[in-house]
Chain A
Amino acid sequence: MKHSTHLQNNPRRKAKPSQQGHAWLLHHLYVLFSSLGRIARTPLPSLMTAAVIGIALALPTGLYLLLENVQQISNDWESVAQMSLFIKPEINDDAKINAFAKKLEQHPDIHGIRIITPAQALEEYRQLSGFGDALKALEENPLPAVIVIQPASSEVEANQRLLKNLEQLPEVDIVQFDMLWLKRLFTIITIIRRGVLILAGLLSLAVLLVIGNTIRLAIYNRRDEIEIYKLVGATDTFIRRPFLYIGFWYGLFGGLIAWVLVNISLWLLKKPVKQLAILYESQFELVTLDALSSFILLFCGALLGLAGAWLAVGQHLKNIQPR
Chain B
Amino acid sequence: MILFNKVSKRYPGGYKALIQVNFHLKRGEMTFLTGHSGAGKSTLLRLIALIERNSSGQIVVGGQNLSRLPNHHIPYLRRKIGMTFQEHRLLFDRTVFDNVALPLVIAGFRHQEIRRRVRAALDKVGLLNKEKSYPITLSGGQQQRVGIARAVVNKPPILLADEPTGNLDPGLAREIMNLFVQFNQVGVTVLIASHALGLIKSMGYRTLILQQGNLIGDTYPRR
Contact = CB atoms under 8 A, between A and B. Distances in A.
A and B bind: yes
A129 interface: no
A139 B163 CA distance: 122
A115 to B, nearest CB: 81
Interface string A214-236: 00000000001101111111111
Nearest to A5: B187
Given A3-B188, A7-B63, A233 B107 contact: yes
Contacts of A230: 75, 78
Nearest to A235: B75
Contacts of B120: 1
A12 B108 contact: yes
**B77, B106, B121 — which one has the most chain A CB atoms within 10 A of its CB?**
B106
A3 B117 CA distance: 12
A322 B83 CA distance: 13
Contacts of B28: 5
Given A23-B108, A229-B102, A7 B62 contact: yes
A2 B156 CA distance: 11
A26 interface: yes
Contacts of B108: 11-12, 20, 23-24, 27
Given A4-B157, A9-B157, A231 B110 contact: no
Contacts of B80: 7, 9
B106 A234 contact: yes
B16 interface: no
Contact of B124 (A1, A9, A238): A1
A25 to B, nearest CB: 11
Interface in A2-20: 2-7, 9, 11-12, 15, 19-20
Contacts of A20: 108, 110
B124 A3 contact: no
B145 interface: no
A233 B76 contact: yes
Nearest to B107: A11
B124 to A, nearest CB: 6
Contacts of A322: 51
B9 interface: no
A27 B102 CA distance: 12
A23 B109 CA distance: 7
Nearest to B27: A5
Given A224-B89, A229-B102, A232-B83, 7 more contacts: A1-B186, A5-B157, A7-B63, A27-B108, A229-B106, A232-B103, A238-B106
Contacts, number: 97
Interface of A: 1-7, 9, 11-12, 15, 19-20, 22-24, 26-27, 224-225, 227-236, 238, 321-323
A27 B62 CA distance: 30
A232 B155 contact: no
Contact of B157 (A6, A19, A234, A323): A6
Interface string B58-76: 0000111000000010011
A15 B106 contact: no
Nearest to B90: A228
Given A3-B187, A5-B28, A7-B63, A232 B102 contact: yes
A11 B183 CA distance: 20
Nearest to A7: B62
10 contacts: A3-B152, A5-B187, A7-B63, A7-B64, A22-B110, A23-B110, A27-B105, A225-B91, A232-B102, A236-B72
B111 interface: yes
The 4 closest A-B pairs by CB, nearest first: A233-B79, A5-B187, A233-B78, A7-B62
B110 to A, nearest CB: 5
Contacts of A233: 75-79, 103, 106-107, 154
B103 A3 contact: no
A233 B80 CA distance: 9
A22 B78 CA distance: 25
A226 to B, nearest CB: 11
A230 B51 CA distance: 9
B150 interface: yes
Contacts of B111: 23, 26
A12 B110 CA distance: 10
Nearest to B88: A228
Nearest to A225: B91
A1 B111 CA distance: 18
Nearest to B76: A233
Contacts of B83: 231-232
B91 A2 contact: no
A227 B83 CA distance: 13
Contacts of A23: 108-111
Contacts of B64: 7
B54 to A, nearest CB: 16
Contacts of A232: 78-79, 83, 102-103, 106, 150
